[in-house]
Amino acid sequence: MTRPGIREYVLLLLLAGMWGSSFTFIKIGVHAYSPLVVAGGRLTFAALVLWGFAWVRKSELPKGKKAWVSTFFIALIGNAIPFFLISYGETQVDAGLAAILMSTVPLTAVVLAHFFTADEKLTLGKVVGIILGTIGVVVLVGPETLSGLGGEFLFQLAILIAAVGYAVSSLITRNLRDQPRIGSTAVILTFASLMLMPFTLILDQPWTMTWDVEGALSIMYLGVFPTGIAMFLILQLVAAAGTSFLVFNNYLVPAVGVLISFLVLGEVPQPTAILAMVIILAGIAASQVRFTRKSLRVENSDTQVDPIAPVLEKDTLEKSSQVSTKSQNKR
């Protein structure tokens, strides 16, 4: 594994574009439909997309009881519950404050990994990156936004709980590093969809809601792009630059989210957005400084902030192993 280059940074921006746009489209979705409908619909479309990719790539399913139990809890803690809570929170919380609240994901993930894993300890680069990333997010949305904390406590708490769920599920994904990426991801999304759908159908009865084209398209977009297709971009990124590099994408998301809000909703970004982007990118770069060989091995140990992405990482290794086995058999 090599240090990130221009290609990896461009790929990180593409991912940030997809994930950053989710705040805008969740906002559009919850204006038309309930949080359960938005979250359940998003997961259902994402599952369909991943099963399509799994069929095309002929991906295998997870193997072993431990892997299946892990996919279940990742679906619950890292997908079904957080997606609903974020949708619920954004019915009252503005996108800027939601971005600050969600920036606790890498903070929580890195801290939890330090205490609960043997190979994901804090380094000076990670600490500096976290500090710079947090400063960048605050600069982006403006320090005055923090004054809103507590005003809508229940909705803000929902987003914070979702962030903790992402972080906890990132540790569980370590159990899936030897499993097929695409097949495992499809199973996780299916579990998550099945978890929310009964509540959606029984409590909200979406067929009784007024049809809204923008809301429906927003839900489809959330499922296909930020939740589904983004997985394949992650595949390339983690293979080239490692998972620790991906962690700091969470700081890019709010910065890119400002641009998406401008393009989709016509919201003019603040002048501080450019400064925030520079600070955030500096934080990402700082997290990669002075990595030793030992640190590079740590990067490959699958502690990530995205609840579904980590299961994608092993596919390349599996293919290499199969090629090696065939070569030995020929001998």
Q: Model confidence over 95-134: pLDDT tens digits?
A: 767 777 777 777 677 777 777 777 667 778 878 877 887 7
Residue at 209: amino acid letter: M
pLDDT band at 148 (very low <50, low <70, confident <90, very high): low
331's tokens: 């001998």
Domain assignment present for 145: yes
Pair 279, 135: CB distance under 8 Å? yes
Domain assignment present for 191: yes
Pair 32, 215: CB distance under 8 Å? yes
Domain assignment present for 313: no
Between residues 219 and 141, the one the model is more confident about = 219
Domain assignment present for 23: yes
Domain assignment present for 170: yes
Total domains in the chain come to 1
Of 139, 152, 177, the closest CA to residue 62 belongs to: 177
Domain assignment present for 295: no
Of 307, 88, 327, the closest CA to residue 203 belongs to: 88
Query: Model-level pTM greater than 0.85?
Result: no
Pair 110, 205: CB distance under 8 Å? no
* Dist. CA 166–CA 163, nearest whole Å: 5
Of 276, 281, 246, 245, the closest CA to residue 258 belongs to: 276
Q: Residue 303 above 60 pLDDT?
A: no
Domain assignment present for 86: yes
Pair 254, 13: CB distance under 8 Å? no
How high is the mean pLDDT of the chain? 77
* Dist. CA 215–CA 28, nearest whole Å: 6
pLDDT band at 164 (very low <50, low <70, confident <90, very high): confident
* Dist. CA 13–CA 107, nearest whole Å: 20
- Could you tell me what percent of the chain has a pLDDT over 70? 72
Domain assignment present for 302: no
Lowest mean pLDDT among 6-20, 80-94, 157-171, 274-288: 274-288
Helix (H) or strand (E) holding 238, with range, is helix 230-241
* Dist. CA 231–CA 223, nearest whole Å: 11
Q: Is 252 left (phi over 0), alpha (psi -120 to 50) or beta?
A: alpha
**Cα separations in angstroms, 208 against 26, 39, 201, 202, 203:** 20, 17, 10, 11, 11
Residue at 118: amino acid letter: A
**Cα separations in angstroms, 200 against 80, 210, 265:** 12, 15, 28
40's tokens: 């359940």
Domain that holds residue 147: 6-288
Q: Residue 297 above 50 pLDDT?
A: no
Average pLDDT over residues 247-264: 73
